[in-house]
Structure 1
Amino acid sequence: MAAPPTPLVSKVTRREPVLITPSEPTPHELKPLSDIDDQDGLRVQIPIICFYSYDPAMQRRDPVKVIKEALAKTLVFFYPLAGRLREGPKRKLLVECTGEGVLFIEADADATLEQFGHALYPPIPCLEDLLFDVPGSGGMINCPLLLIQVTRLKCGGIVFALRLNHTMSDATGLNQFLSAMCEMVQGAHTPSIQPVWERHILMARNPPQVTCSHHEYDQLDDTADNVPLTMKTHRSFFFGPADISAIRGLAPPHLRHCSTFDVLTAFLWRCRTIALQPNPNDEMRIIVIVNARNRFNPPLPRGYYGNCTGYSVAMASAGEISRNSLGFTLGLVRKAKANVTEEYMRSVADLMVIKGRPWYTMVRSYLVSDVTRAMFAEMNFGWGKPKFAGPAKGNVASFQILYRNKNGEDGILVTLCLPTPAMERFEKELDSTFKEQSNGGGNAISPLSSL
């Protein structure tokens, strides 16, 4: 995979950040978050970015004006996002719906989309220019819940970047909000899917009772995992249909029908474990982020835009993962996903209350998030579909993102962050696996050369 070109943006002119408020009056009320929303692991900011090409049909429309107006209209329906978080007793988070608004930055860059070349994948070059961290805006309490920057490129293209307080929404909920904004751009007066708050559905029971195993919240101590980010390498890998078919061929026949996510995740967990070179007896973990909306009976309301994800874990020793075939890790990934039930989610909410809303453990863990169904690639603000849309970086979670590579081939982009020596070994493991498949008569293309 070729390295991205350097210094793409030498100058960005930013206007002073402004607050965009709902275009109509909204209720002033206090709304508690759910006990899934306010766990420590979600008290973070998540960056999303979308790149759009120049569209002659939109030549006379200013993207900043268009998006500002759509945002103000959308906030009428998603008005809690214009409020501020407060913290109550026992660290309980609540939203005070003040209508203060979300932060918005207007910017112009001296770059064209073409200058980014094929570097439109995480880690996004010049992210700090395309999504400016307004001083004092990135906290949890009493801070804007959403920051948006729209950057005009000198070619006529635009960059839409967003930073969301994760306690408010997961990827599905954020997609719902952005889809509503796109509908407003196209002339809608109300979202086609009405937003639903109802965070009480995911509140802890009274009394709380942990009924399931939740190894994702085990309190583990392992200093070997505390490698500074400066000593890690962040890369993206593209897997096209031929690559995924080759990986699927490594699975036993009775598991080859499994989803692309299951097969790819199991394969990468094995390669990653081998690359890290842990002690064979070390317990390694896969944490699969599962959208649990449809695991409830009845399912959560369609417009529910809060967090409804389970962080389900499967475990095995490094030796077992390395020695066994793909079928071994594939079975573990499928079991982890199946563990997320309605009772599991209620048990998580109860655990949060009992144990003080702990962070999920990342010790010897591979955390994977599938955002291929979040439909960021469909976000059309009038400039057509984006050239890239999705998470701007993947330092903690490994994201699987819909992506079209330089050859016009549709597939899955996977972000990965590893200590630099381990990343080098990971690439060698990946390359050797695909070479073996090709020598065996397959037609796989190494993901290392696909971006």
Structure 2
Amino acid sequence: MSKTESLVNVHSKLTVVSDKPVEPGKKYPLSILDHAMGLYTLHIVFYYKYDRPQSDDLGRVRESLSHLLTMYPPVTGRLQRRTEDGNWEVNCNDAGVRVLVARVHSTLDEWFRSADGSAERNLTVWEDMPEEDTSTWSPFCIQMNDFEGEGLAIGLSCPHMYADPTCCTTFFKSWTEIDRGVSIAHPPFFHPPGLVSRASPNTNTTSARYYATKSKVEDPSPVKMSTVSFRFSEKMIKQSLSDVQTECPDATPFDLLAAVFWSSAMRVKTPVHDNMCTLSIGIDIRKLMQAPLPHGYFGNALHFLMVSSEANKMDEGGLAYVAGLVHHHLSSYEEEEFWSAIDWLESQKMEGGTYAPPFKMYGPELTCINMEHLFAYQAILVNMKPLHVSCHVGNVAGEGLILVLPSPEEGLGRTVMVTLPEDQSDMLRKDQAIMCLEPTILVSGSL
């Protein structure tokens, strides 16, 4: 056991069920987009700084969480294969959510100064789904981590095919709203048939061809990955935006940061195999459709698209050129691309209607996900906003992952979490283009 691992000591476990029993026989099928994320797991950690008596821990968890779970029957259920086609569904049997309680032998301030990514991993549950019997396995796990002094971190984990970051964050925020006795702002919306292929499918689009190409890429050789978290102030983002907006007047913080980290990642990548640089961009589609889904839509609503450029043009054009490239690609995006990707995924069904095996959605090229919209810092617990929120995607491989997240500072401030091969991650910490934005580097290190 390493020094960082020994800092977190899980001392108790319990299972929390809903206040009211679920109606017998209730099932919840996972959508085609859910199945597509089957290779990954999600792990989100919410940090708070306040003194919470340990004697109140379990009772409070049971009371507020049980009330919330009444609204989320799939969360307390268990995964199973449907007999008719072999696809995944949830048996909503109210088997409960696994809750772990841990003691962290560190203050929160010491943790942010010295802990690395492998230590943060211990604040959430990382378990692979059983290959055969899933009837007793809890897909959703919550870990309560008490720090010495005034500190608490709550880690939420689940298979990615259950939920995306928006869904998980909304679930957690609703829990804090119940805990405070206020109305839930974004109640859950369960409707997986809302994201299915159309009667007249279209697979002749850029997105459909991109997904088809991704599905044929062989798994990359495993390498040790490392995560670094950067926090950027509103002042520095605003200043940098003013520089690029001379050429791209409508550039957003996401356009800017995607450009900065894409360019920097290309510089530290060795070797560069060809002159073309590609970036896969992930966007949440809930509010981008003509008939938008509620924020509380339960499941996955991520769509991936690719932007590319010749390396020499990125070098010559500089940050403004790359930010403009990202912005133009996203602003010219049409909803038909999203639906055609679903049409293509549905077209890959095998005999009997079984969905095809999942492939690398996060990759194989460098992937950047826009999570600016998350309600992470609205998850107020005992009148305290989170001090920091981190998000990890388990089983990421390939060239790496960039997550652009909100920041506790309101306005244009952002947090960026970057997972790259370890040697590249070390160089990224010293990249001049990133350091010019004067970031604060938080919990980071090998995963």
Q: Same fold (TM over 0.5)?
A: yes
2:274 aligned counterpart, secondary structure: coil
- The question of whether the paired residues in 1 share the 8 Å contact of 2:77 and 2:90 is answered with yes
Q: Give the Å deviation of 1:150.
A: 0.9
- 2:162 aligned with 1:165, yes or no? no
What 5-or-longer segments of structure 1 have no aligned partner? Answer: 1-5, 436-443
- Describe how 1:185-196 pairs up with structure 2 within 5 A: 185-188=179-182, 191-196=184-189
Give 1:82 shift: 0.9
Tell me whether 1:401 sits opposite 2:397 in the alignment. Answer: no
Of residues 74, 92, 97, the one that matches 1:80 is 74
- Which residue is 1:423 aligned to? 425
Question: Does structure 1 residue 116 correspond to structure 2 residue 111?
Answer: yes
Deviation of 1:127 (Å): 2.7
Q: Is the 8 A contact 1:211 1:344 kept in 2?
A: no
Query: Using the alignment, how far apart are the partners of 2:5 and 2:50 within structure 1?
Result: 18
Q: 2: distance between equivalents of 1:87 and 1:318?
A: 46
> Against the structure 1 CA distance between its residues 206 and 98, is the aligned structure 2 distance closer, same or farther, given a 3 Å change threshold?
farther
Q: Does the 8 Å CA contact 1:87/1:94 hold for their aligned counterparts? A: yes
What residue in structure 1 maps to residue 59 of structure 2? 65
Question: Does residue 326 in structure 1 map to residue 324 in structure 2?
Answer: no
1:23 to partner: Cα distance: 1.1
1:129-159 per-position Cα deviation (integer Å, ceiling 9, x unaligned)? x224468679995432200011223325322
Alpha-carbon contact 1:145-1:164 (below 8 Å) kept: yes
Cα distance in structure 2, aligned partners of 1:203 and 1:286? 27
Over the aligned positions, Cα root-mean-square deviation in angstroms equals: 3.5
Gaps of at least 5 residues in structure 2 are: 349-355
Match of 2:339 in 1: 346
Q: CA deviation digits over 1:187-213, x for unaligned, max 9?
A: 35x634332111111012246432422
Cα distance, 1:238–1:303 mapped onto 2, change above 3 Å: closer
Task: Give the counterpart of 1:96 among 85, 88, 91.
Answer: 91
Offset at residue 22 of structure 1 (A): 0.9
Identity of paired residues, percent?
18
Q: C-alpha distance in 1, partners of 2:185/2:229?
A: 34
**Residue pair 1:220, 1:363 contacting (<8 A) in 2 also:** no
Matched with 1:24 is 20
1:101-250 equivalences in 2 (<5 Å): 101-119=96-114, 123=117, 125-128=119-122, 130-133=123-126, 141-142=134-135, 143-188=137-182, 191-206=184-199, 208-214=201-207, 215-219=210-214, 226=220, 228-230=222-224, 232-250=225-243
CA contact (8 A) 2:238 2:412 kept: no
Q: 1:18 to 1:139 in 2, by over 3 A?
A: farther
Asked if structure 2 preserves the Cα contact closer than 8 Å seen for 1:193 and 1:302, the reply is: yes
CA deviation map 1:331-378 (0-9, x unaligned): 331244246543222212111122325424556622112333212222
Instruction: Report which stretch shifted further, 323-332 or 289-298.
Output: 323-332
Flag the 1:386–1:363 CA change in 2: closer, same or farther, 3 A: closer
Asked whether the 8 Å contact 1:217–1:358 carries over to 2, the reply is no
Residue among 226, 241, 256 paired with 1:263: 256
Partner Cα distance (1:117, 1:64) in 2? 26
- Partner of 2:206, secondary structure, is coil
1:174 counterpart SS class:
helix
Distance 1:372 1:45, change over 3 A: same
Q: 1:50 to 1:35 in 2, by over 3 A?
A: same
Q: Secondary structure of 1:178's partner?
A: helix
Asked if the contact 1:312/1:340 (under 8 Å) is kept, the reply is: no
Q: CA–CA distance in 1 between the matches of 2:362 and 2:18?
A: 38
Tell me which residue corresponds to 2:351: none
Partner residue in 2 for 1:286: 279
* Distance of 1:283 and 1:139 partners within structure 2: 42
Q: How many residues align?
A: 426
Match of 2:413 in 1: 411
Residue identity opposite 1:402 in structure 2: P
Find the aligned partners of 1:361 and 1:422 in 2 and give their Cα distance: 21
Are 1:36 and 2:33 counterparts?
Answer: yes
Q: How much does 1:282 deviate?
A: 4.3
Which of 44, 48, 59 aligns to 1:48? It is 44
